[in-house]
Structures are given as C-alpha cells and as structure tokens.
Amino acid sequence: MRKAGRVVAETLELLKEKVKPGVKTQELDREAEAFIRSRGGVPAFKGYRGYPASICVSIDDEVVHGIPGERVIRPGQAVSLDVGVLKNGYYADGAFSLAVGPVPESVARLLQIAEESLYSAIDFFRVGNRLGDVSSAVERKAEENNFSVVRDLVGHGIGRAMHEEPAVPNFGRPGTGMEIRPGLVVAIEPMVNLGSWPVETKKDGWTIVTKDGAVSAHFEHTVAATEEGPLVLTSM
C-alpha cells in the first residue's frame, strides 16, 4: 500500500502543476492515467462501477465524482482532484482542492479549513482511539469556522478493495465507534461546504453537488494505524 500510495502522491503533485486556466479537465485525466501506468499502477477509478475516467475533477459546487470532459478550467474556480491507484493488488486513494487564481476570501478560507480538518482527523487516528474521535475532529474544525460537513458521503476502509469497512464519517461523537488497532488502513476524506451540508447527484449519475450551489472542498489521505502513530501513505 505504500507503493500504491506513493503513486497517488506523485500523481497529485503532477496535477497541481497542470491545473491552470484554459486546461480541459479531460487533459488532466489523460495526463494522470499515463503517469499512473508509467509508474506500474492502474487507475483505480476507471471502470469502477462504470465510472468512465481515471480521476475525478470537481469544480466549485461539485463535491466529488466530477467526470473529466470538455469543461475548461477558469480563473477564480475551486478545483478538487481525486486519484485512486491499484498497484500489486493493493489500493490507495487521495485528493486535494486548490484555488485557480484569486478567489473570494470565504473560498480561500474554506480550502484552508478543509485541509486543516483532514490533518486534525489524522492526528486522532491512533491506536486505542475510536473512529468517532477521528470523525468528530473533522466536524469540530469545520463547524467552529462556520462551515458544514457533508453527511451523505463518508471516508472508508481500503486495502485489497477500493472501498472496505469501516465507514469513516466526517461527523460523530468522540469515544464512539470501532476501536483503532494496528494495521487498520482507512481513507479519511473531509468534504466541507461553504454553505449547508445537503447534496444531490446530477443527471450524469456520478457528479455530486451541493444543493444550495455553494462551493465545496475535498481533501483525502490514505492512512495506516501503527504503534508509532498514524502513517500517511499518500504523502510525498
């Protein structure tokens, strides 16, 4: 999983350099797929439950699962990129969001807090804690800053399958849920909205958007629980 996670991290770094005004989202998809395969991996999303692309590119009010296509990235947008890789029989999954050029202060703050909520949650992913400690860390960070967390979508276990038990919500009560034990690996993925938390699915059957049209941010790491503390498998 370290090897799969390394390819995820490298792909995300590549995409950060490629996200610019005027670029079509399908170009990002092609670049990502070629790079993943050059590193001995397989794009985990492509064909998964019929998903047609190698990565997800979600813009502004799109929370997750945006399908790359002819859409052109423009200045002032918030863009989220989600990458999954299968390598040597194991999966890893990661995501980040970024601003393309100047954005309103509220959106910049959203991106900052959403990322901070991920690392706050990771810090609670420790042997002996419970998953509720992880989930509540996301919720607390977001709501203290007047943002909301999506409740209809969750993080997940990951390993020999892309999605495994347990579910890892972005809200919850400390001290509840599964006890974290050595060897547990999960994808922690805060989805934080500028407005309210309800979401809906677009007609393409994949793209999930905020119901109120407010901007959303998505950050994700695949993390392993070890006796020495949380080990992030999708970081450089």
Cβ burial, residue 105 (10 Å; 0-12/13-18/19+):
exposed
Cβ-based neighbour number of residue 141 at 10 Å: 23
Please answer whether residues 4 and 36 qualify as being in contact, where contact means their C-beta atoms are separated by less than 8 angstroms: no
Phi, psi dihedrals of residue 132, rounded to the nearest 5°: -60, -30
- The domain that holds 144 is classified in CATH as 3.90.230.10
Mean pLDDT by groups of 10 residues along the chain of 236 residues: 98 97 98 98 97 98 98 98 98 98 97 98 98 98 98 98 98 98 98 98 98 98 98 95
Please answer whether residues 5 and 158 qualify as being in contact, where contact means their C-beta atoms are separated by less than 8 angstroms: no
Query: For residue 236, what pLDDT is reported?
Result: 81
User: What residue numbers bound the domain in which 43 lies?
Assistant: 2-232
Phi, psi dihedrals of residue 95, rounded to the nearest 5°: -155, 160
59 has which bridge partners? 79
Number of domains within the chain: 1
- DSSP assignment letter at 232: E
